[in-house]
Each structure stands twice: as C-alpha cells, then as structure tokens.
Structure 1
Amino acid sequence: MQRALTGLNRSNLVTELLAGITLLAIAIPLNIGYAQIAGLPATAGLYALVVPTVIYALVVSSRQVVASPDAAAAALVASSIGGLAAAGSESYATMALAQAIICGVLFVMLAVFKLGFLANFLSKPILIGFVGGLALDILVSQIAKMLGVSIESGGEFVEKVAGLVGGLGTANGWSILIAVAAVIVLLGGRRLIAAVPWALVVMVAATVFVVVANLDEAGVAVLGEVPAGPPTLTWPVLTWVQWLALVPSAIALTLVTTAEGLLVSRAYGEKRGYPTSPNRDLLAFGLGNIAAGAQGSFAVGSSTSRTAAMDQAGSRTQLPSLVLAVGTLLLLMFGTGLLAEIPSPAIGAIVAVAILPLLGIKDFTRLWRQDRFEFAIGAVCFLVTLFIGSIPGILVAFVLSLINVAKRASAPAIDVLTADGDPQDSLLADAPKGTTTAPGVIVVRMAAPLFFANGAVFTEAVKTAVTAAGPGAVHTVVIDMEAVTDTDVTAAESFESLTDWLSDNRIRLAFSRMRDDARPRLERLGILTAQPVFATNRAAVVELSDRPSDSNA
C-alpha cells in the first residue's frame, strides 16, 4: 500500500480522489465496450477493474500507469480465441481466462529472468502496423453496432466487411441517430472541455433517452442484464491441448503489452522525475493477469489513454486506480441494474472514438516522410494482421524486425580517417576517392561490432580503400578498434582472409584505440596477431607513414 501511495500528502489528496472519480467515469463505459469486442460479457470488463487493478497498483513501480484491458488486447483475444471456440460460449469464456493466466505466467518469467528486452524487437513501425490492423478490424464491428446491423463478431475482416455491407438494408434509424449524436458529443465535447468524462455523459444520456422513448421495442439493441455481485475466485478447466493452443496468442499479448507498458512507464517516470523498475512493472503485469484469469476477466495491460488522462488531471500516485477498484466493486454489488438499458449504438460510438487514434494514420504519414523502408515494414504488418490474422501478424512482425536489424547491421559506417581522426571518405560509397590518412597509411574505422553480418563487408571495404589508393601507395593499414566491442567466429574468418591479402601485398596491419574489454576475445579468435603494431594518435600515424613496408605486423 505504501508503494501505491508514494507521493500522496494532504495537499494533493483531493486532486488524487477527483482523478479517481474521473478514471471511474472513463473506465466503466470503455471496459464494457472492450469486453464486447473480446466476445465476453460486460462483467469480464468490469471484473478487470477490481482485483487485477488493486494488485497491479500495489506492485508496480510506476506511480501513474493505469492497468486495464485495452482495445488492441480485446481484439487480439477475440481473433485468437474465435478460431478455437464459438464467441459467447462457455468454452470461449474459459479460454479467455486461461489465456490471461498464461500471459501472467509469461510476464512473471520475463521479470524473474530479466527478459523484457525481447519486446524491443517490436519497433515503432511494427507496433503501429500491428495495432492499426487490429483497430481497423474493431472499427468495422463498432460501425455495425452503431448502425444496428448484425454481423459475425468472430469472423475474419473480409467477412465482417461483407456482412456490414450486406446488412445495410437492415440498419436501424434510431440506432444511427443515437450513434451520430454520441460521436458529435464525444468529439465536440473533448474540444470544448477536455476534463469532462464525455463517455459517461454519452452513456447516461443515451440510456435515459432509450428508456424514456422505449426504443428497445423499436429495434435498438441494449446491453441487457448484467449479473450483480463481486468477482469470485475461479479457475479455467481445459485439456492440455487447449492450454497449448492458447500459448501463441498469449505470447503475442505479452510482447505487445511489454513493449507498450514499459515504454509508457519509463516515459512518465522521466517526465515527472521518479524512478521506475522494468522488472517490477513486468511482475505487476504478471500478477495482475493471473488475478484476471482467476476471477472471470481477460488479459490486462497498460492503458495509454487513461494514463494520459490521469496525468492531465494532476494525479501522481496510484490512488486513482484504487478509487476505480472500489467504485467498480460498488457498482457490481448495487448498481448493475443501471447498466441493462445502455444502448449498444452508444457503446459502439464510445469504443469507435476511443480507437480512432490507434489506426495510426498520422504515424503512417510521418513514417512515409521519414523512412520509406520503415513505412513498408509497418504497412506489411498492418495488412497481414488485418487480412490473415493477429498471430501471423506478430510472427511477421518479428521476421520483419530481424530483417530490419540485419539490413542495418550489414551496412555499418566504414570510413577512412584523416590524421586528426575525422572521417574523410566513406568506404561504402559507390565511388571511393582513393585517399589516404597519411603518406602510405590508411586508417579505417568501422562504427559497429564486427560479426557475421558485416565481417565480409568490412574486409571488402578495406581492400577497396587500399586498391583505390593505387599500386604501392599504401604500406600500412591501421584499423581503428574503438567501436568494435565484440566479434564472432564468422567475422574472425573474414578478418583472417584480409590479413592474408595484406600480407600477400606486403602491407603491414596495425590497430589503434583497442578496447581493453574486447582485446581478450579478439586475441582468442586470432584477429590480433602475435606482435601487432598499435597507433593511438596522430603522431603515431605520421610515424607509421615514415616506416618502410619490410614486414607485416
């Protein structure tokens, strides 16, 4: 409790309590919508706000990050479990619980073994594409809900679009009216007074309108009865085959949540000047997800939008999350009757407006201007996620990440240096100029570790520099080793071929600025010869330029 309330004092107590009430107003309607996206009852979204939220708030290192299911996670739950069980069935709900528990175990393992760095393979373009694909899939379902059109929620994207287009003739006029009014209020209200919980305003106003006008009898779909009572302890009973079938989607959920959650936690910690612990945050996610699966909810992660709302409200502690848990518990025990008449078009509008930023339109536009290759990575991930599925999307994301890493690693900066140490010619340019660092001497620097992806590239670059200088123009090649922090066997073999080539051409090999921590491995792999020459400054380079090429170092 002390950790969750770190930073709380008399001067900010009222601010924190008001922020908690605001969070409650934001979270209730959104979580009901996210539960419907996931193909689960409204209680699954509300239960996530009680025990998992409390556990997360008590364990996490961040003072501000809010834990909750979000739209992308809900869509991933629906797309991954939808192929294993029928949405709305008992086995479907049981699998959602099991999936959350598997996510929790994976988070705990990441925390214990300090493997959170794995999420770094999900670069920004990949996250944009993956989340954008899920968001567009969600948007189609919400538009159908806003129009009063019935479509198969667990179907593929193309099937949903076909069902939406084919069902336009059955659209309900009252549903459209409610949805349009809700969108106008949500978008316009946010610009007028951002601090007002417009989602709650829309939900309450739409519910009153439906009840007064008796619109459920006119074809407007409503949420329906929500079981009263607090969440109860449970445990999903599945076969081992069913548990194993959920592992890939649980891995995807864990990685996406890790990448986003740790980024948000670090960003707000740096912004507000308090320390955060990535491994503790992962542990909090783990315990929160296990709690979610053990009491009737589904996978939880960090909510960027709610965290931003709490920051804008002046909150700097986890007290709002605790207020949210208490408020939701009271609603479940005494107020579920108020939820039964909430119109589905209003819920659809609330969720649709909330996920619009997740489409990544601005992010894709920025990527197009900044780097076309990165844009292509995001676009491919977007299309695969949208048209093939979320699990193939995350697999393609990892493959694209590795390709991106390999592409950049295979083309490191390799330069010929001046005697002052400044680069004067890139050896990866199309037309080398044939310059030298000093008379008879070429100093070459590679600004990267030497390993299998760039060993041959470096060897060819040095040969190109020597050849371009002209016959007999070079008697010493100096390798600047400052940036070479590591190497591997494949690169060592490439370096050996370079050494032989230099020896055949009676050119000595020297090294400068060797790192002490890298020297033992370089010696073990044979990159450093028995009696190497070391040049450490401009004077040493000039001295080498005066030496005759009578031996090789």
Structure 2
Amino acid sequence: MLKKYITALEWIPQYDKSHLRGDFSAGLIVAIMLIPQGMAYAMLAGLPPVIGLYAATVPLLIYALFGTSRHLAVGPVAVVSLLVLSGVSTIAEPGTSEYIAYVLLLMLMVGVIQFLMGVLRLGFLVNFLSHAVISAFTSAAAIIIGLSQLKHLIGVKLEADKNVFMILYESVARIQEINPITFGIGISGILILIVMKKYLPKIPAPLVVVGLSIMIVQFLQLNQSGVSIVGHVPEGLPGLSIPAVTIDGLIKLLPVALTISFIGFMESIAMAKAIAAKEKYKVDPNKELIGLGLANVGGSFFSGYPVTGGFSRSAVNYQSGAKTPLASLITAVLILLTLLFFTGFFYYLPNAVLAAIIMVAVYNLIDVKEAKHLFQIRSLDGWTWVITFIGTLAIGVEQGILIGVIFSLLVYLWKSAYPHMAELGFLEEEKVYRNIKRFPEAKVNPKVMIYRIDSDLFFANMTFLEDKLCDKIQDKPDTKWIVLDFSGVNGIDAVSIHALEEMMESCGRGEIGFLFAGVKGPVRDLLNRAHWEEKYGDNYKYLTIEHALRVIEEGDDHGRHDVKGKK
C-alpha cells in the first residue's frame, strides 16, 4: 500500500550504484544553479532572499520521496514567484512579517489543493488550460517579471511595481536618478550571463556572476556608494513555522492559490512528461499532484514559499546526467550545507545581480513565435494567445489567465454551437462519399440529400442543425429523402433527440423521409431508450450510407414508402 504513494520505496531498494556519479554531478550543478536563482526568485516574490533557499530544501526532499519523475527539479520558479507577489501584496506589505505569514498560508493552501486533486484524480482539470493560454500567459508574465526588476537594475525605488506601462513611464521620467554604478553592475551581469550561456554553457554562469560581483562590491565598498546589497542572510537550517490558518486569510488567498496550483502543475507536468518520453518511463499526473502537493505542504512548515518543477533546472538536471531522484536529494543536502556554513558569503551580493539573473532567466519564456504559429494554423487560437497576453499585461497576472481561460472556453462553445456539417456526393472512381464543396466532381442524386454531421449533438447546436437542413430542403424542392451520416456523432443528449424528432416533422412536412446511417452504439442506445424503434422502425439502424440508399432504392422499386415518417 505504501509503495502506491511513496515512490522512493520502489527506486531506493533497486538503486544501481553505477548511477551515483551522474546523480551526484547533476545534484551539484543544480544546487549551484539553484542557490542564486532561489535567492533571486524570493526577492521577486517580495520575500527575504533566504526564504528562497529554505524553499529549495524540504520541498525537494519530499518530492523525491513521492514524485514519479526521475529528473524533475523542484524549487522556486519565476512565474510562481510573480503570482505570489501579485496575490499577497494586495493584502499585506511585501517583506513584512504579516506578508510572510500569508505566504506560508498560501503555500499550505497550494499544497492541500494539489494533494486533493491528486487523491481525487482531478489531474484532467488542467486540460482546460489550453496551450495557447499558457504560452501567452507565460510570455506576458516574463515581461512583467523582467520589468519588475528594473528598480533593482537602475537603483531607483519606483512607485509603480505591477503595471508594466507605469513602470516604463516612471523609469523614463526618473532617468536622472539612476545610480550609474548599480546600473553598470546589473548590465555587466546580464552581458556575462548571456555570453557565458552561449560560449561556455557548461560553466554555471549565475554562480560566476554572483562570486565576481560580491568580490568587487566588497573590495571597493560600493555599498557605501548607493549600491543596494542583500546584507545579512540568516545562518542555519530553516526553522519550524506554523502557518496561521484563518477564515479571512483562506478567502483572500483562494484565487491565487488555485491559480498557482494549476499553473505550477502545468509547468511541472509538461517538463516531466517531455523528459520521461525521451527516457521511456511513465509519469503519473495524479501522483505528481500528490508529490507536489506534499512538497508544498511540507515546505509551509519550514519557512518556504510555493514551489514547482522548473523548466530550465529540470533540463540542466537531465543533461547533467541525473538518473534518479537521488540527484534532487543531493541538491537539497548541498543547499542545507550552504545554509549552515556559507550564508555569510552572500552579504555583499548586489540586488542588481539578482535582478540580472531573473531577467536573463525569464527572457526565454517570451514566445512570440508560438503566436505566429497559432495564427498560421487557426486564427481563433492566435487570438486566444493575443487576448490572454494583452489581458495579463494590462490588467494583471491572475486576471489575465482567467480572461484567457474564459475566452478559450467561449471559442469552444461557439465552435460546438456551430458544428461542421457537409453535404456528401459519390465519387465513382474511389467509391466513397465526400464533401461536395471539396470534391465538386462528386455526384449528387437530386431526390436524395446526404448530410454528414461532424460533432456531438446537444441542446446548444440543434437549432443550427435544424436551420441548416431546412434551408437546404427549400433550396432543393425535389428532395424526397435525407440520409444523415452520424458516423461523426459520438454523443447526444435527450434534448437533441426530441429536437431531431421535431425537425423531421417540421422540415420534412411529412413528405420527406429521414434515414440515419453509421449511428454509433452509445448514441443508438439512447435512441432506443427514446423508443425510436417503435416510432421509426429501422430508420436509424443502417450501418452505412450505401445500406440506407439501397433500402430507398428497393422501396421506390416496389412502390413502398414505409421508411418515411413514423410506424
């Protein structure tokens, strides 16, 4: 029973010692990458940098025990950090003890929501976040994140901190106040990160930039020239923290907790599945929710903030030779050692460098190519991207993704309300029935109209179907028979069945016979329950279009028209 949930009970007893070298190497490299990133992302979330290190310890240990991905690197990520800031800063001042208390409660809520979703097998709910919405939201969030760090990069405390347009306006208006030394450090950091990533990808650029900047600031005492530094970073292991659970706090934080739960899981499962496909093993979405949920629940009791699997760190973990979750355990242990013995090293770390690390990290999240690709394939998906992107930038991150989800669902409902229908004709050479608009050479019998419906039928699209057929009947007064090809109908509701009966009466006026071909078993079962066999005999049981047409021909040859109307 325990093995069902604690995946570590499966991989630890069977651990192959030959994997140790790869796991240790990957764990070390990810730790080196995560230490500056964790501090930077905590600053982005409006938290003391050390909380970013706390969030990179206990959650990693817990996920390694319960997660199903062998390569996912869990920890603080940029988008979730921004969501934390945007959600909690509306009810408390960032950096205050009240703010931190709300963040701990938020982490607990995120963990409980994800855990319950996993236990109840609700992982499918994330499918309602379309790829277009996620891509646009991530791209807009990356821009917001980058610009939110502008104040640290230029050394000016900007009043505007959420609206990107106001941030840009205020930055330009206060250009004379820019601290040239701070700006120089930040720009130099960005350039070094970009150059090293391109030409020296195996060397951990963030750690190099952090080390160089600390030495320069300390040696030249630039902190006395207005350069903002991290300052004292508490030494020691993360202390036990009990989230303050209140009804008021739960209500205020619920929207952002749900958003982080979904977005965090989407980012995590996408990367986990991508790597699992390459390595040919299976990732269980519901168990992933349980693993991430418990990681967040555990982290909330050890002074962390919401975590999930990161794209870049997971890729580095995989490329560095990780074979099992032991790599994550090693990462967590190394960060714990850093907290115990090396936090004093970060005293002179300039905030401009942390801002540079964030800016370079999120730049690759901006995916305009995806918008172009979506427009090339289907414009509605492209417009979903654009509306989500603009909504996120102009209104806010939580509201932006909600706008995207609502718009994508409206597009789906619109498409469902106006299903694709095709009048079919016969291609003699190929001996198949095809859409006469795409195959004008297809032959049509003026007395028999064949229509294929390529959608499930439900109350919202029956009016469209009825109007379409009735209009066609008026355009073709010689029509005596209508054959409806139901091979594309996978589902139907009770209202639609009743509407079909009324349509056959109103459109056919008792003079036109309706036959149904290719009705699938589940749909036919519902028609049987509606007593269609008593009402229409075998009219809805024809296996193919040819079968229905043969019955029409035989009826005409013998002067029989009992296939029309009710029996």
Give TM class, smaller chain.
Answer: over 0.9
Residue 169 of structure 1: aligned partner: 176
Residue by residue over 1:236-295, the C-alpha shift from the partner in whole angstroms, topping out at 9 and shown as x without a partner, is 225311221000110111111222222222222222100111100011111111112221
Distance in 1 (CA, whole Å) between partners of 2:93 and 2:531 is 61
SS in 1 for 2:17: coil
**SS of the counterpart of 2:18?**
coil
Q: Counterpart of 1:507?
A: 512
In structure 2, the CA distance between the partners of 1:364 and 1:502, relative to structure 1 (3 Å rule), is closer
Q: Give, as a single letter, the amino acid of the residue that structure 2 aligns with 1:376.
A: W
1:396 alignment partner in structure 2: 403
Q: Deviations over 1:181-229 (max 9, x none)?
A: 2112111111112222111111111111111222111211111111111
Match of 2:187 in 1: 180
* Paired residues of 2:518 and 2:545 also in contact (CA < 8 A): no
- Cross-structure match for 1:56: 63
Q: Does 1:331 align with 2:342?
A: no
Q: Provide closer, same or farther for how the CA distance between residues 74 and 104 of structure 1 changes in structure 2, counting only shifts above 3 A.
A: same
Moved more, 22-31 or 386-395: 386-395
Query: Which one is further off, 46-55 or 510-519?
Result: 510-519
Q: Does 1:150 align with 2:157?
A: yes
Partner of 1:417: 424
Partner Cα distance (1:260, 1:178) in 2 = 32
Please say if 1:286 is aligned against 2:293. yes
Aligned-pair CA distance for 1:527: 6.6
Match of 1:222 in 2: 229
**Residue identity matched to 1:417:** L
Q: Which moved more, 1:78-87 or 1:7-16?
A: 7-16
**Match for residue 72 of structure 1?**
79
SS at match of 1:444: strand
Contact 1:506 1:550 in 2 (8 A): no
Q: What is the distance in 2 between the residues matched to 1:503 and 1:93?
A: 69
Q: Partners of 1:425 and 1:526 in 2: how far apart?
A: 34
Q: Does residue 492 of structure 2 align to residue 487 of structure 1?
A: yes
Answering whether residue 543 of structure 2 is matched by residue 532 of structure 1, we say: no
> Once the two structures are superposed, what CA deviation does each residue of 1:22-46 show, in whole Å capped at 9, x if it has no partner?
1011111111111001000112111
Check conservation: 1:496, 1:527, Cα contact below 8 A: no
**Take 2:514 and 2:375, find their aligned partners in 1: how far apart are those partners?**
44
d(CA) in 2 for partners of 1:383 and 1:123? Answer: 16
- Offset at residue 403 of structure 1 (A): 0.9
Query: Per-residue displacement from partner, 1:319-369 (whole Å, max 9, x unpaired)?
Result: 221111000100111111011111111111111000012232332333344
CA distance in 1, matches of 2:26, 2:109: 32
CA contact (8 A) 2:110 2:296 kept: yes
- C-alpha distance 490-521 of structure 1, shift in aligned 2 (>3 A): same
For residue 478 of structure 1, give the secondary structure of its aligned residue in structure 2: strand
Q: Secondary structure of 2:436's partner?
A: strand
Query: C-alpha distance in 2, partners of 1:441/1:6?
Result: 70
How many corresponding residue pairs?
Answer: 547
CA distance in 1, matches of 2:481, 2:441: 15
5+ long unaligned stretches in structure 2: 1-7
The more displaced of 110-119 and 321-330 is 110-119
Distance 2:290 2:353 in 1: 36
Over the aligned positions, Cα root-mean-square deviation in angstroms equals 2.4
Q: Which amino acid aligns with 1:71?
A: A
Contact 1:441-1:544 at 8 Å conserved across structures = no
Sequence identity percentage: 26
The DSSP-based 3-state class of the residue aligned with 2:106 is: helix
Alignment-derived partner of residue 9 in structure 1: 16
Aligned residue in 1 for 2:253 = 246
Residue 232 of structure 1, CA deviation: 2.0
Please point out which of 138, 142, 157 is paired with 1:131. Answer: 138
1:344 to 2:355 alignment: no
Instruction: Check whether the contact 2:139–2:365 (CA below 8 A) recurs between aligned residues.
Output: yes
Q: What amino acid sits opposite 1:515 in the alignment?
A: K
Aligned partners of 2:48 and 2:481: how far apart in 1?
A: 75
Match of 2:385 in 1: 378
SS of residue matched to 1:182: helix
The answer to whether the 8 A contact 2:453-2:488 is kept is yes
**Quick check: 1:37 aligned with 2:79?**
no
Q: Is 1:358 matched with 2:365?
A: yes
Letter in structure 2 aligned against 1:306:
R
Contact 1:502–1:509 (8 Å) recurs in 2:
no
How much has 1:169 moved relative to structure 2? Answer: 1.6
Cα pair 1:4 1:319 within 8 Å, conserved: no
User: Helix, strand or coil: the match of 1:49?
Assistant: coil
Opposite residue 462 of structure 1, the aligned amino acid is L
* Structure 2: distance between partners of 1:514 and 1:107: 40
Give the structure 1 partner of residue 277 of structure 2.
270
2:30 and 2:317 in contact (8 A); partners too: yes
Partner of residue 463, structure 2: 456
* 8 A Cα contact 1:439 1:545, kept in partner: no
Taking structure 1 as the reference length, the TM-score comes to 0.93
Distance 1:352 1:208 in 2: 22
CA contact (8 A) 2:243 2:301 kept: yes
Deviation at 1:311, TM superposition (A): 2.1
Q: Is the 1:76–1:134 contact (alpha carbons within 8 Å) kept by the matching residues of 2?
A: no
Q: CA deviation at 1:312?
A: 2.0
Taking structure 1 as reference, are residues 539 and 134 closer, same or farther at Cα in structure 2, changes over 3 Å only? closer
1-structure distance, mates of 2:113, 2:345 = 37
Q: Say whether the 8 Å CA contact 1:23–1:324 is kept in structure 2.
A: yes
Separation in 2, partners of 1:522, 1:485: 13
Cα–Cα, structure 1 residues 535 and 442, in superposed 2: closer, same or farther, change >3 Å?
A: farther
Partner Cα separation in structure 2 for residue 112 and residue 455 of structure 1: 38
Residues in 2 aligned to 1:393 and 1:538: alpha-carbon distance in whole angstroms: 48
Q: Deviations over 1:453-483 (max 9, x none)?
A: 3222222333344444x322x3322222222
2:477 counterpart (471, 477, 480): 471
- Which runs of 5 or more structure 1 residues have no equivalent in the other structure? none
SS at 2:483's partner residue?
Answer: strand
TM-score by length of 2: 0.90
Contact preservation (8 Å) 2:473, 2:507: no
The one-letter amino acid paired with 2:223 is D
Task: Please give the alpha-carbon distance, in whole angstroms, between the structure 2 residues aligned to 1:45 and 1:73.
Answer: 12
Superposition deviation, residue 372 in structure 1: 3.1
CA distance in 1, matches of 2:531, 2:449: 22
Deviations 1:113-160 (A, max 9, x none): 222222111112211222222222211122221222222475443443
CA distance in 2 between partners of 1:525 and 1:98 (Å): 53
Q: Given that residues 104 and 300 in structure 2 are in contact (C-alpha distance below 8 angstroms), is that contact kept between their aligned partners in structure 1?
A: yes
| SS of equivalent residue, structure 1 residue 118 | helix
Retained in 2: the 8 A contact 1:3–1:59? no
Identify the match of residue 303 of structure 2 among 286, 296, 321: 296
When residues 232 and 513 of structure 1 are mapped into structure 2, their CA distance, relative to the original with a 3 A threshold, is: same
Matched, 1:256 2:267: no
Give yes or no for contact 1:103–1:289 (8 Å, CA) kept in 2.
Answer: yes
Asked if the contact 1:4/1:58 (under 8 Å) is kept, the reply is no
